[in-house]
Structure 1
Amino acid sequence: MAKFAYKALNKDGKEIFGVMEAETQALAINDVRTLGLYPTMVRPASKSDEKRARKEKGGISEFYIGGLKSKQIMLMTRQLATLIDAGLPLLRSLNVLIHQQKPCKLKDVLREIASDIQSGSTFAEALAKHPKGFDRLYVNMVRAGEVGGMLETVLNRLAVFMERRQALKRKVRGALIYPIAVIVIATGIVSFLLVKVVPVFADVFADFGGTLPAPTRFLMSAGDFMVYRWWLLLVIMTTFVDIIKISSKSAKVNSIRDRVVLKVPLVGDLIIKVSVARFARTLGTLITSGVPILQALKITKETIGNEVIQNAVQKVHDSIKEGDTIAAPLDESKVFPAMVVNMIDVGEETGNLDAMLMKVADIYDAEVEAAVEAMLALLEPAIIIILGGIIGFIVVSLYLPIFSLGDVVSNGG
């Protein structure tokens, strides 16, 4: 396919220069017009034209920091659905979004997607070239929408799916701000006491002589460690992180960890609820959008982070492949709650599996929110008690020797 250089005017009258691929010059002129531009010159591109086009695309005005953000993709999906629903062609809609975007990674990605579509690729094929921004769930739903002729409907469903997922993340992060702030401030206070206050008391006690109580000796040792051997903390923390990273690459370690986590009180229950909500929302959205059930289950399995639950979903996939139901292997897994299994069973019998899955997702999204709030309600007093105990220990350890100073002074006299 030949390359053509073009000059064109945008809606503001500004001249745009670029290079595009097309079979003929007439088709290149038509493609420029589909971008919402008015071509003033179209000719075969030379190497200098391609170099100029790359320079203008990535100049100083296009400088940015950072990659693709999920919030940007969510907003772009909603806007694209609105534009297509209003009757604009896909390529024109993409170019409208490109012109609206400030310099960022998403703008470059949209340019590449628009260029691929101009070259004859489908929207799904163009998205698949950017897996960091558009996962398999996104690409397969778009592919199903293109095949079924309901791309705007699928994009709206994707936007709703991403908005709900983003909303849950925001709630969890917002709820964690207070306990994290308390931990950081308290850690700073304890460090200050150990580095600045404890050494002063240590010098005073040393001048008076005598044997210090065991808690005070321990506190002095901790203070000396923080002053003279603080770097060992960095070594220990770095080593611990490296061990976790290395062990996480082992399938056996991950399997054991995932099984143990599910048995931890409160935490295991929360992970199951999150996984059920994600399983139901993802599978329901994919089935509603026309993605084949086996392919939908494979994609859904990848969105779940726990291997135990992934294995349960894999058994569902194998069961359907052999002509059986979804509910039976879910019940055998003993991971999914009985209510979820029964609701899915009813959905299969009535032919409304997708609608039932979405109801399950709504129920468990609310369950997750309630569970997170309950955990944080327990976490806050627990943090206060633990930190109060640490600071209380420091204060008591510093004051214990003072009670015996009188004896030391009188004996010295």
Structure 2
Amino acid sequence: MAIYLFKGRNADGRVVNGQIEAANTDAAANQLLGRGITPVSMDEQIVKLSLSERFERSANLGKVESVELIMFCRQMYTISKSGIPLVKGLRGLAASLRNYTFQRALEDIIERLETGVELSTAMRFHPKIFNNLFVSMMSVGESSGRLDLVFKQLGEYMERDLNTTKSIKTALRYPTFVLIAITIAMGVINIKVIPAFAGLFANFGAKLPLPTRILMGISEFFVAYWVYMVVIVVGGIAWFLHYTKTPEGSRWWGQKKLRLIVVGDIIERATLARYARSFGLMLNAGLPISNALELCARAIDNNYLGDKIRGIRAGIERGEGLYQTHLVSGMFTPLVLQMISVGEESGQVDTLLGEVAEFYEREVEYDTKLLGDRIEPLMIVVMAGFVIILALGIFLPMWDMYSIQKQ
């Protein structure tokens, strides 16, 4: 795609100037004619790019963040509600985007729309940006003629989901940094500090205390085999990341991370909040229950719970009710099950699922605020144990040396 500076006349005969982005001059002229402008002259503009921008464009390494998709949904809601034609609105958004990957995707969608393809079908060609949930909601919006409402609902859904994810990451940031700092400190002490004291203690000639002998043995092991340890750790991490991407590994990790100390329960409730929010959103949009459940199983990003949701779907297809299938899944508390039962009886399942999502989200928000208070004592105990072992191992023989010198 290139940018062309044009000069032309509109329907009233007045001279207009501006710039337009197109694959070539013919495409640019066709776009102008479609806007009611007769081109008089057209010159390609040379855009100077930085080295990083050139590399990104050549390799197309850009990533579309959740914040950018939320802003896209908000802008498209405004555009759709105000009655601006879809292609014209998308073209204006594409021209204002800084993310080259997202811009290219929208330009491709615009080209497909101009050939008569539907928006949901055009978005399906960019699965890394628009997932199955997004595409399915677009399809429902097109069928019902409420595309503006769908964009609004998707924007609100993604914003809540992003806020929950951010709150969990923020709560885990402090303990993660502490553990990394302790690991680095242990490596430096074992490789640099303890060997220096070992030479001093060797001249002492007396029998060293047990904590000191343990520390020196660990230090000698680190010094002799640190290269192999690094290789094993890096290889183990690489194997773990690869294994969790396999179907079996993702299910195993999906179950295990729900049982992690302190944070596992928060992760489970945040995942269930995402399920309830997305399920209610799709039911409100008019998707069939069976299709909505399958999309929810993919959207929650946990294959272990995804299998349970597919079990709910299988029960629904056998003719069982929502309450019964959710009860059998074992995923929800009695209070949440009662809310689902009331929603099923009153015919307001989507509304009650929204209440379930808010219930879980409030719990997650409250627990993430207390997460630091829960983890801090554990961190203090770990650091205290590390300092005590180090102090005993190094200072006990030094006290013995001081006592002998006094005699």
TM range (shorter): 0.7 to 0.9
| Paired amino acid for 2:22 | G
1:120 aligns with 2:113: no
Query: Taking structure 2 as the reference length, what is the TM-score of the superposition?
Result: 0.85
The partner residue of 2:80 within 74, 79, 84 is 84
How far 1:98 moved relative to its partner?
1.1
* 1:283 partnered with 2:285: no
Q: CA deviation at 1:350?
A: 0.8
User: Contact between 2:5 and 2:18, CA under 8 Å: does it hold in 1?
Assistant: no
Query: Does the CA contact (< 8 Å) of 1:316 and 1:330 recur in 2?
Result: yes
CA spacing shift, 1:253–1:402, aligned 2, 3 Å: same
In the TM superposition, what is the alpha-carbon distance from 1:192 to its structure 2 partner? 3.4
Q: 3-state DSSP class of the match of 1:14? A: strand
Change (3 A) 1:253 1:123: closer
Report how far residue 78 of structure 1 moved. 1.0
Count of equivalent residues: 392
Partner of 2:11: none
Q: CA RMSD in A?
A: 3.3
Letter in 2 for 1:378: R
| CA 88–268 in structure 1, closer or farther in 2 if over 3 Å, else same | same
- Quickly say closer, same or farther: Cα 1:299–1:58, change in 2 above 3 A: farther
CA contact (8 A) 2:262 2:375 kept: no
**Structure-to-structure mapping, 1:4-43, within 5 angstroms:** 8=6, 13-16=17-20, 18-19=22-23, 31-32=31-32, 38-40=37-39
| Deviation per residue, 1:204-260 (Å, 9 max, x gap) | 111222221221122123333444432122112123224424543665555455455
Amino acid at match of 1:108: R
| 1:410 CA drift (Å) | 8.4
Q: Is the 8 A contact 1:20 1:115 kept in 2?
A: no
Amino acid corresponding to residue 91 of structure 1 in structure 2: V
Q: Is the 8 A contact 1:7 1:40 kept in 2?
A: no
- Deviating above 6 A after TM superposition, structure 1's stretches of 4 or more consecutive aligned residues are 27-30, 56-59
Partner residue of 2:135?
139
Separation of aligned partners in 2, 1:17 and 1:268: 49
**Distance verdict in 2 for CA 1:247–1:177, change over 3 Å:** closer
Q: Mark the CA change 1:163 to 1:9 in structure 2 (over 3 Å): closer, same or farther.
A: farther
Q: Which residue, 225, 228, 232 being the options, matches 1:229?
A: 225
2:297 to 283, 298, 301: 301
Contact 1:138 1:158 in 2 (8 A): yes
Post-superposition shift, 1:363? 0.8
Q: Distance in 2 between matches of 1:13 and 1:272?
A: 56
Matches within 5 A, 1:237-316: 237-245=233-241, 247-248=243-244, 251-252=247-248, 254-259=250-255, 261-262=257-258, 266-316=262-312
User: Relative to 1, partners in 2 of residues 1:265 and 1:9: Cα closer, same or farther, differing over 3 Å?
Assistant: same
Letter in 2 for 1:361: A
> TM-score, normalised to structure 1's length?
0.84
Change (3 A) 1:191 1:104: same
Distance 1:315 1:132, change over 3 A: same
* 2:148 aligned partner, one-letter code: E
Q: Unaligned 5+ residue runs, structure 1?
A: 1-5, 43-51
User: Matched residues, percent identical?
Assistant: 27
* Worse-superposed segment, 288-297 or 243-252: 243-252
**SS of 1:229 mapped into structure 2:** helix
Once the two structures are overlaid, the 10-residue window that deviates more, 183-192 or 380-389, is 183-192
> Relative to 1, partners in 2 of residues 1:38 and 1:225: Cα closer, same or farther, differing over 3 Å?
farther
Counterpart of 2:330? Answer: 334
Aligned equivalents of 1:33, 1:82: Cα separation in 2: 26
Q: Pick the aligned partner of 1:388 from 353, 378, 384.
A: 384
Q: Name the residue aligned to 1:3.
A: none
The Cα of 1:121 is off from its aligned counterpart by 0.9
- Alpha carbons of 1:66 and 1:218: their partners in 2 closer, same or farther (altered >3 Å)? farther
Cα distance in structure 1, aligned partners of 2:375 and 2:72: 37
The one-letter code matched in structure 2 to 1:94 is: L
